[in-house]
Amino acid sequence: MKIGMFFNRLSSERLKRYASKVSVAARFLAARVFYGRQDASSGKNPLKKETVTIILLPNDSTRGKHFMIPLRAYKAARYAAIPLCIAFLYVIVDYSTMAVRVSETYKLQRENTTQKIELQTLSSKIGELEDTVSKLRVFDKKLRIIANLEIPAANNNLGMGGATDEDYFLTIEDKKEKLVDKMHSDIKQINLDAGAQEKSFTELQEFFMKQASMLTSTPSVWPSRGWLTSDFGMRRDPFTGHIQMHKGLDIANKAGTDVLAPGDGIVTKSSVSPYLGRMVEVSHGYGIKTTYGHLSESYVRVGQRVKRGSKIAAIGSTGKSTGPHLHYEVVVNGISVDPRNYILN
């Protein structure tokens, strides 16, 4: 009885397990049949997944490597690769554009640095020219004061100016262009002032050359050595005894003593006069003439140029004379003046 009950219980447990296994197998088979129908309807092998094989063949080896990727994963990767490729191409193009812009920026920076140095050098030279013109203007003014000449109106508008409110809103290129325009304007002004200064210096040069000529032409030395026997002014005439004007100086010395030109000039007379005997007249320009009388000899001719210190005649006693001496006159603008006023030695 017990054995039968045990057998019955054992049999029932086994039956349950068998039934469970049969149930699982049935479900598996049912699933196989279901999927098999689905795959059969699509014409595909129901027991095999669709895959994509990727084969890598290296250059140095005939043996390659292959990878199997599910078709769905391949399709998903392919669709995902399109935007990735587009993004990659965009990054490459953007990087290339940025590299070109950076290169151009560096190039512009170098050019700007070079131009800045050149502009600074040019500005420095313009400043030096302005200083030179300013010093020349001051020197010109001093010379004109010394020469008692009129001082022309000077244009002092060199290198003036500064930043305005609108300059802060200008770009670098606009500021550079404005600076270049200002430099051109300054250079133009310097050229104008330099031209005016050159004209002024030419006038001063002519004036001082004229003054130098006047100084060398002025009868400022004694025409001969000797003793002063009669001065300029009123005196008693040695022949008539009457008081009358003596228009020159009488310098006594032995006959034949040299008579020298007291200044540069041109001989205008070389003749014989009843009163002065043999005489010479020299025009020194600027309205000044000198006369030499009672000469024994004349060494010059009319029209001859003479220099200060050159020998023009010799002392004698020709004409109305009481003995060997030189009668010396200085005439300024037709009026006889005291020769002592011009003699410096």
In a domain, 193, yes or no: yes
CA 43 to chain centre: 92
Classify burial at 130, counting beta carbons within 10 Å of its beta carbon; exposed 0-12, middle 13-18, buried 19 or more: middle
Do 185 and 274 have their domain in common? no
In a domain, 180, yes or no: yes
- The structure's pTM equals 0.48
pLDDT band at residue 48 under the 50/70/90 scheme: low
Cα torsion angle, 18, 21, 27, 33, sign? negative
Using the predicted structure, report yes or no on whether residue 215 has a pLDDT greater than 60: yes
pLDDT band at residue 332 under the 50/70/90 scheme: very high
Using the predicted structure, report yes or no on whether residue 146 has a pLDDT greater than 70: no
In a domain, 97, yes or no: no
CA 111 to chain centre: 20
- Tens digit of each residue's pLDDT (9 = 90 or more) over 334-345: 999 999 988 887
Which one has a higher pLDDT value, 190 or 33? 190
Do 234 and 335 have their domain in common? yes
Give the integer Cα–Cα distance in Å for 290 and 262: 9
In a domain, 201, yes or no: yes
In a domain, 283, yes or no: yes
- Tens digit of each residue's pLDDT (9 = 90 or more) over 158-173: 444 444 555 555 566 6
Q: Where are the alpha helices (DSSP H) in 218-313?
A: none
- Express as a percent the part of the chain with pLDDT over 70: 75
pLDDT band at residue 282 under the 50/70/90 scheme: very high
In a domain, 54, yes or no: no
Give the integer Cα–Cα distance in Å for 212 and 263: 12
DSSP state of 202: H
Q: What is the mean pLDDT of residues 210-232?
A: 90
Do 310 and 258 have their domain in common? yes
Question: Containing domain of residue 37, as a range?
Answer: 2-48
Helix (H) or strand (E) holding 255: none
- What pLDDT score was predicted for residue 13? 57
Do 323 and 232 have their domain in common? yes
Residues in the chain: 345
Do 152 and 170 have their domain in common? yes
**Where do we find the tokens 């009129």?**
150
Q: Taking a C-beta distance cutoff of 8 angstroms, is the pair 327, 248 a contact?
A: yes
Q: What is the mean pLDDT of residues 48-58?
A: 69
Using the predicted structure, report yes or no on whether residue 247 has a pLDDT greater than 70: yes
Number of separate domains in the chain:
3
In a domain, 112, yes or no: no
Which one has a higher pLDDT value, 322 or 130? 322
What does the mean pLDDT of the chain come to?
77
Report the Cα–Cα distance between both ends of the chain, in Å, rounded: 185
Do 305 and 240 have their domain in common? yes
Instruction: Convert 299-311 to b/e letters by CB count within 10 Å (16 or more is b).
Output: bbeeeeebebeee
Using the predicted structure, report yes or no on whether residue 245 has a pLDDT greater than 80: yes
